[in-house]
Amino acid sequence: MATFLEMSGISKRFGGVHALRDVDLTLEVGEVHCLVGENGSGKSTLIKIISGVEAAEPGGRIAISGKEYPKLNPVYSTHCGIQVIYQDLSLFPNLTVAENIAMAHHLGGLHSVNWTSMRATAKATMAKIGVEFDPDAKVSELSIAGRQLVAICRALAADAKLLIMDEPTASLTRHEVNALIALVSELKRAGICVVFVSHRLDEVLEIAERVTVLRDGAKVGTFAADTIDGGKLSHLMTGKSFEYQIQAPELAAGPVVLEVKSLGREGEYEDVSLQLRAGEVVGLTGLLGSGRTELALSLFGMKPPDRGTIALDGRPIALRTNAEAIDRGIAYVSEDRLTLGLILNQSVTANVTLTVLDRLAGALGLIAARARQTHVARWVAELGIKVSNPANPVKTLSGGNQQRVVLAKWMATNPRVLILDSPTVGVDISAKDGIYEIIRRLAREGVAVLMISDEIPEVLYHSHRVLVMREGRLTTDVAAAAASEDALRQAVNA
């Protein structure tokens, strides 16, 4: 196979920090290559250097299709056929499909718009990958998967020879992921090199022909996909190895705290019945769209169900707002930490105290600064949050520490039921165990934990019982000890 891209000796420094150290990378024409690494490993910096947005330190070498490029900028790299699809897709939601797709050729420069030829280009490109959207529809009307396809079309229309996709499967259902994988094969056949950046090791191994692992800015190695497995990959990414073991139930599960009978909500889920016991960790998994988050929001009072009953300690309750749920001891950690779980610009203190403001107030309805400080200090200590000054904005913390702040916020409400939605997303593998330890501790203290997650191993190895939801229904309810990864995978996907 011919080599499309060859990079060697690539380094990059931001101030005193080495984002990349002497990295080399070779990409063949028509290859499917995956780039993996933890947050901070340098993956995004490397991508930015390939696409010309950032420049490597002098001394590095970049050659594309045999030609040397001592200096690469976005214009050159696009000219060479390098296209990047970022996680946010960089589409224009207020413009039509045709405009977005045909952007490169038709909308640069100062001439007048040729609507007909734009539509033609769009249709032709869409045909290449077998999709059909109305070229005059606004992109904002499409689903996330649809938009991703439009983004891919746009790259194709710009004569992409190398397509880099940053975490493309983050918001896709299994069906859509399968479709994407099939599409990648199509692209490969057309001679386009595809680079996936992903942290989902399962998928990485499924798609890739070769995998490059980055750690702390340096390349650990490039491997053929059939020579490694998930365990080895995560070992390479973190430098540590993690043994997965089934959790033995530490205590006999306590009394039933929350019981749900035949709960249903139009269009989202139906006939769901389950029980959550004190001290028990129940894992819930299922595809995106299976109704898991909706169920969680119903239990949290934000999306009241249409049918069925929720009973707390045996007594039926109706939750109309999340404030009511919190009062009764039900807390929910959202899957979207950055926009729903935390208020990034505000301080750690502000975030941690947000749920208990009324409680912190003293006699006159005023909150003493000391009360706030004490509260924060206590939780920083209890959960081991690494922060130099609680007055710093929470966005300065690492993913793992941010998640601890969120947990602190909710644990301060003394919940009896804690619902965690994808609690370790965006948390480095090495920090995940810290989160699991907190969950185990919660269980020891008698809290009923419902953990929702995409990752089957996570659910299997850290819960006492596992539930699976498919298309709005609860299809499986087994003890973790009695289940296996394969069986669960089948239940989720079948």
Question: Contact residues for other proteins (CB under 8 A)?
Answer: 53, 74-75, 78, 86, 88-95, 99, 103-104, 106-113, 143-144, 171, 268, 288-289, 293-294, 302, 321-323, 325-326, 332, 334, 339-346, 350, 353-355, 357-358, 360-370, 409, 413
Compute the distance between CA of residue 24 and CA of residue 60 in angstroms, rounded to an integer. Answer: 9
Instruction: Please say which residue, 31 or 294, places its beta carbon nearer to other proteins.
Output: 294
Instruction: Please say which residue, 43 or 462, places its beta carbon nearer to other proteins.
Output: 43
Q: At 293, list the tokens.
A: 């988050």
Instruction: Please say which residue, 129 or 344, places its beta carbon nearer to other proteins.
Output: 344
* Smallest distance, other proteins to C-beta of residue 363, A: 8
Instruction: Please say which residue, 318 or 368, places its beta carbon nearer to other proteins.
Output: 368
3-state secondary structure of 339: helix
* Smallest distance, other proteins to C-beta of residue 427, A: 18
Q: Which of 43, 253, 170, 164 is nearest to 455 (CA)?
A: 170
**CA atoms in the 13 A half-sphere facing the CB of 295:** 35
DSSP 271-337: EEEEEEETT-EEEEEE-TTSSHHHHHHHHTTSS--SEEEEEETTEEE---SHHHHHHTTEEEE-S-I
CB neighbour class for 315 (10 Å; exposed up to 12, middle 13-18, buried from 19): exposed
* Smallest distance, other proteins to C-beta of residue 323, A: 5
Instruction: Please say which residue, 2 or 363, places its beta carbon nearer to other proteins.
Output: 363
**Residue 95 per-residue DSSP state:** S
* Smallest distance, other proteins to C-beta of residue 372, A: 9
DSSP 371-419: HHHHHHHHHHHHHT---S-TTSBGGGS-HHHHHHHHHHHHHTT--SEEE
N-to-C CA span, the chain = 37
Compute the distance between CA of residue 208 and CA of residue 38 in angstroms, rounded to an integer. Answer: 18
* Smallest distance, other proteins to C-beta of residue 202, A: 21
* Smallest distance, other proteins to C-beta of residue 331, A: 9
Instruction: Please say which residue, 107 or 120, places its beta carbon nearer to other proteins.
Output: 107
Instruction: Please say which residue, 115 or 242, places its beta carbon nearer to other proteins.
Output: 115
Using alpha carbons only, what angle is made at residue 393 by residues 387 and 394, rounded to the nearest 5 degrees? 65
* Smallest distance, other proteins to C-beta of residue 41, A: 22
* Smallest distance, other proteins to C-beta of residue 327, A: 9
Instruction: Please say which residue, 55 or 323, places its beta carbon nearer to other proteins.
Output: 323
DSSP 186-233: HHHHTT-EEEEE-S-HHHHHHH-SEEEEEETTEEEEEEEGGG--HHHH
